[in-house]
Every structure is written in structure tokens, then in C-alpha cells.
Chains A and B, each alone.
Chain A
Amino acid sequence: MLDTNRKIQELLIDYAGSLRDGCVPVFLKSLTRQEGRAIASSEEFWDAAEVVRVLNGVGFADKAATADVGLFTSRVDANIVSRLKKAKTSSRARRAAGPKSVTKTQKTDKPI
């Protein structure tokens, strides 16, 4: 990184910029050990970060809210169906595995 050990106001502005541009991971990766410590100990940073998030929600969330809800509901439904299938196959597998272990124990039980 070009900018090493940024001051707390610079860190806040960079965080705000990354949130506005949708690239928070880039900001997180850019932090040095010292900057990480500075963030952790600065109450002002956390206060300002809350405002940054609020501004982000008020100022830019329209971009996300214009998505096609119809298409999105089908995505959610597909996700639910895949979870239903997974649950069914896992319960079937459990059922299939269950009796086997019982018979095994029964078999071993008899001689004893």
C-alpha cells in the first residue's frame, strides 16, 4: 500500500469510500497492524462509522432496492427447494443407516 499508517480520519474516510463503492474487503485488507490497533482503540472511529453506514443506507441504497423482486422470489424459492431436498436425502440416509447399526448390535448381542 502507498499509504502506510493512516490517521484515524483517513481510515474513516477510506472505510466510507469502500462502503460507498461496495469494496469493503479491499479496505479491510489494506489495514496495517498499527492501523488495526488504532481503529480498535478509537471511540471516534466507531461513532463516525455508524453515521457512515446510515448515510450509505439513505444515500445509496436505492441502487439495491430497484432489483426485480419477481426474479428474486424465484431465487429464494429455488434455495428453499434445494434445502428441502437436502433435508429429505439426509433423513433418508439416516433412516437407511439406522437399522443396519441396530441389526449389527443385535447380532453381536446374541452370542454374549
Chain B
Amino acid sequence: MKGLTAPDVERRRRAMEPFVRATFDSFIRCLYRYLGNEVECEDVLEDVYADIWENPQRLRNVTTEKELLRTVYLYYMRKRLREVYRRMNRHLYLSQKDLTNLTAPELGVLETMSQTELEQALRRALGRLKARERRAIELWMEGMSSRAIANELKTTVGAVKMLKFRTMLKLKKMLSEYCHAG
């Protein structure tokens, strides 16, 4: 981090490689939440790192890994995420504000948790769900469509959609409780 905020551009450039190696995994996972596309994630992240090299001032006072991810998301990633969808906006029926909230939102309660914290919290929350609710989420995470899940659970597509929606809201409540308790 020292070399990363140095005034000399060449020194900063040399410091980038170890920084990229150390942070790539967590940064790309963070971006994947919002893009869901590995190729696009790499393209955006490349610009994010170059932006950090060009203007690293925001990272000057960062001390922990969690703080680093938060700062990088708020000051570097969000700007780039907004750019991905900016050109689309004139063809959409969503206001600019809603589009930003959907594609590059402010960090919510859950999004401030670290990956390990989230995985633990999610495992606990999934354990507290009803068997049918848990199964629907698990099948969805395996990559199944709503129709395939409906076949598996022997119900209608509409019922599966409603079940998943209600379960997501339930998960949000449980995860928020876990977050506040933590």
C-alpha cells in the first residue's frame, strides 16, 4: 500500500502488480455481485485498477481489508459500473436513479459484510428456512430455471416465483438480524 500512494508514477506502477495479486480475488468477487459476467468483470476491474494507479488518494487512510474493499467499491468500482449501463439509459423505462440503485447501488447492510461473514450468515439463514424454501433456493443456485424447479417441487411456475420472492425477503430479514447481532 505504501508504494501505491507514492507521488512518483513509476513507483506506483511497480506497486500495482503485488497489489493486484493480493486483491484480485476479493475485488472480482465483489464486482461479480453486480455484473454476473466474468468477462465484463475483468474489463471493469482493469479500469478500476488503472483508476487506482492514477488517483490513489482515497486509499491513503485505509487500514483493514474490509475498509479497502468498501473504499474501492464506493470510489472506484461504482463509477465504472455506472458507465457500463449509462449509454443504455435512453432506451429504458427506468429513471437514472433507479438504474444506478439497481446496477451500482450504495452499499446495503449485507453488502458491507465480508465474504466469509456472508457465507457463514447465509449458511445459518438457509438452515433456518423451511425445507421447501431452502430447496427452491438451492436449486436456483445450482442454475435451474423456475420451470425446472417447479417440476422438481411438483408445483406451478408462478408458485415457485412467489416462493422464491418470499424466501428472498425472509433471507434479507434473517441476514440483517445476523448482521446487527454481529
Report A's interface with B, CB cutoff 8 A. 8-10, 12-13, 15-25, 28-29, 31-33, 35-37, 39-40, 44, 46-61, 63-65, 67, 69, 72-73, 75-77, 79-80, 83-84
- Chain A residues with CB under 8 Å of B102's CB are 15, 28, 39, 49
Contact partner of B115 among A23, A52, A57, CB < 8 A? A57
- Chain A residues with CB under 8 Å of B115's CB are 57-58
Say yes or no for B67: interface residue by CB 8 A criterion: no
- Chain A residues with CB under 8 Å of B36's CB are 18-24, 56, 60
Which chain A residue shows the least CB distance to B163? A9
- Chain A residues with CB under 8 Å of B161's CB are 9-10, 13
How many A-B pairs with Cβ below 8 Å?
180
A40 touches B98 (CB 8 A): yes
How extensive is the interface on chain B, given as a class?
35 or more
Measured CB to CB, the closest approach of chain A to B107, in angstroms, equals 10
- Chain A residues with CB under 8 Å of B137's CB are 55
User: Which of B58-66, B85-93, B127-135 participates in binding chain A?
Assistant: B85-93
- Chain B residues with CB under 8 Å of A18's CB are 36
Q: What 8 new A-B contacts, CB under 8 Å, besides A10-B161, A12-B164, A83-B53? A: A18-B36, A20-B36, A20-B143, A35-B93, A36-B98, A63-B38, A75-B46, A77-B16
Say yes or no for B4: interface residue by CB 8 A criterion: no
- Chain B residues with CB under 8 Å of A19's CB are 36
- Chain A residues with CB under 8 Å of B42's CB are 64, 67, 72, 75
- Chain A residues with CB under 8 Å of B29's CB are 57, 61, 64-65
Q: How far is the CA of A22 from the CA of B91 in the complex (A)?
A: 20
